[in-house]
Copies of this chain bind each other. A is one copy, B any other.
Amino acid sequence: MRKVYVIGVGMTQFGKFPEKSFEELGRVAAWEAIKDAGINPKDIEVAYCGNMMGGSLFGRDFGVGQLVLREVGITGIPIARVENACASGPTAIREAWIAVGSGLYDIAIAIGVEKLTGARKGVTAMVGDSIEGVSGLTPAAMWAMRARKHMEKYGTTLEQLAKVRVKNQKNGSKNPRAQYQKIYSVEDVLNAPMLSDPLTILHACPVTDGAAAAIICSKRVAKKYSSHPIQIAACSLKSGTYPTLRDISVNDLETRAAKEAYEMAGVGPEDISFAEVHDCFTIAEICRCENLMLCKEGEGGRMIEEGISEIGGALPINPRGGLLAMGHPIGATGIAQVAESVWQLRGQAGARQVQGAKVALTHCSGGFVDDDNGAGSVIILKK
């Protein structure tokens, strides 16, 4: 495998756009990434499209990548859809990374697009024929139980959980592409309508439509088009059991992905300038900072309490606003994390800039409580 770089990124506004098509969302993200890279769409040799629910929600059983990329004049080349639950976006990045790293192609696009509004059925249908679907154990209910367990085991408080939303919302307020840009107080979060006790709706990420894209290339191409290419120093994907109720905090899946990524990139958690962590719920950010070894086991609550994870803190987490403020258009999320990382590492993140950022970590995990059905991804990007 040769070295692989990101030279262009793009994304849509994230939000609820029931009237917008896959094509419209994808076009905006792809075009921005292409312009950002300074390449011609015809230079792109291979494409991967992350999308999870197009078939289930919209009968888009195939052709999502093809029809989206046609909008920017990309056709003829190999285009494949990849899906890996909430890690569908990073799986698209990963396949592009391997395709370029193999030497088979010099320029790839990874695009993620998801529409979760405007369908005839609701997105909770996603639990399908799994144990959760049959028993009614929704993601909110699962994370509520995890929150209780974390509070009981490590003394984490509801206020600490609420502070995750407050922090990410504060970051999101500086991000014009965030679905919610309003600042919330701890009280706002605690007093919002109850979703699944003890989690109110403000502990959960919203339902969102959006797209994101990245142009991935070889060193030769990166040098030609960019004075500030960002290296994909590691791109780890693991399968396994999504956090269970038995082992609430230390999740083997995420930890294994992180360990491999640190080793591949030749860095440790102490070298990470900031991280984009899959905060589908406030408690998820806390658990996952622990799993990714960004703090010690049980200290996720303290991390937020002491301001460590704020922009300006020792290890900023989710400077773009995370899933909580940005929303979570599933196939797009992991690529949007990479887009934010590229902007941050270039020093282009404006009011939410992490000063001196050199190494970024992005993380996504997906799955349900059924053993071994999960996917966990960790990407490390270097300036």
Contacts and interface: CB of A to CB of B under 8 A. Distances in A.
B126 A61 contact: yes
Contact of A102 (B70, B79, B102): B102
Interface residues of A, number: 60
A59 B133 contact: yes
A229 interface: no
A80 to B, nearest CB: 5
A99 B254 CA distance: 22
A95 B374 CA distance: 20
A19 to B, nearest CB: 14
B53 A55 contact: yes
Contacts of A177: none
A334 to B, nearest CB: 12
A370 B22 CA distance: 15
- How often does this chain occur in the complex, in copies? 2
Contacts of A63: 85, 130, 367-368, 370, 373-374
A104 B98 contact: yes
Interface string A45-77: 001000011011011111101110110000111
A221 to B, nearest CB: 17
A80 B370 contact: no
A130 B23 CA distance: 13
11 contacts: A1-B103, A56-B61, A59-B128, A62-B126, A63-B368, A66-B375, A67-B372, A70-B371, A70-B372, A80-B94, A82-B83
Interface of A: 1, 47, 52-53, 55-56, 58-63, 65-67, 69-70, 75-85, 88, 91, 94-95, 98-99, 101-104, 125-130, 133, 236-240, 256, 366-368, 370-375
